[in-house]
Amino acid sequence: MELFTFLKKFPKIAVFNAMLINIQKPGSVYVANANDWKIEFNRTIIPGSRPLVILKPFSPVDFVFDLSDTEGPDPFPKRLLEPFHVNGNISDTRFNRLISNLTSYGIRFLTMESGTHMAGYIEETRASENDFLIKRTRHTQYRVENHYNIVVNKKHKKEDAFATILHELGHLFCGHLGMAYPGVFKDRSAMTLNIMEFEAECVSWLVCEREGLKNPSKEYLAGYLDKNEYIPPICIESVLKAVTLIENMMSKSIVRHKRIIAHKMKLSEK
């Protein structure tokens, strides 16, 4: 859990990069490359400081430095040392983008009338020949087989529905539901229920924390640790991959793996 607590401190950095930072310098509090330190904070790198290596999109690596490796005349903004301050709200843009991108994974989003204590669930569907979802981008329409439904309680507020969706996506992306798409998710359906639930709750907790949201997963995880001497043998890699997929779903429009897409059509062909 110490690793996850560290990862939540870096919401603007991909979780795998945050893990790399933790491996190289566990006490890091804020990192940036030398150019950003100079331009944004008027700080320079202390001579002899060791750079931290992270992955960079569209290029091999980038080199960053922790706050403790810099110096400058201006005080560092305290608000940046608490990026996970809880505000209790998820933006409509990020929530709606997440819902929209469920289609990219063959997931239909549904709501239900239910009692307060029924949050929701994910279920596998038996897709018939005509059971497809439509994913549209600006120029292209994709037909995606409907393999799963995520159902949430329509009485719950947006933030509660968000946490439920994260939990159910955690199950799917961690491979707990088997392998509806061979080669896309690993089949880890043989894991014990304790491992599956703990992994799904870790996914929900970590995404919510990095979004600055309170979430019920914290109570579940704390309760489990109070009742059990050891954390179950979860797969950290699976949890972080799930978090990465979900955060990508909230940040951009996604069209997924070729094994998921059943048919692709340019809108001009309609």
**What H or E segment, with its residue span, contains residue 19?**
helix 15-24
Rounded CA separation 70/216 (Å): 38
pLDDT at 46: 92
pLDDT at 86: 45
pLDDT at 43: 93
Nearest to 196 by CA among 235, 237, 241, 161: 235
**The CA-based dihedral angle spanning residues 81, 84, 88, 90, taken in that order and rounded to the nearest 10 degrees:** 120
Asked whether 189 and 178 are in contact (CB, 8 A), the reply is: yes
Distance of CA 203 to the CA centre of its chain: 7
pLDDT at 109: 92
Domain parsing of the chain, residue ranges: 2-81, 92-269
Nearest to 202 by CA among 153, 230, 243: 243
Rounded CA separation 181/258 (Å): 10
43 half-sphere exposure, CB direction, 13 A CA radius = 23
**What H or E segment, with its residue span, contains residue 226?**
helix 217-227
DSSP 50: P
Phi, psi for residue 144 in degrees, rounded to 5:
-120, 130
pLDDT at 87: 54
Residues 6+ apart with CB under 8 A from 63: 33, 34, 51, 52, 53, 54
pLDDT at 191: 87
pTM: 0.73
Rounded CA separation 138/136 (Å): 7
pLDDT along the chain (270 residues), means of 10: 69 81 84 91 92 82 89 82 60 90 88 72 70 72 82 83 92 86 77 88 88 70 61 84 91 69 54
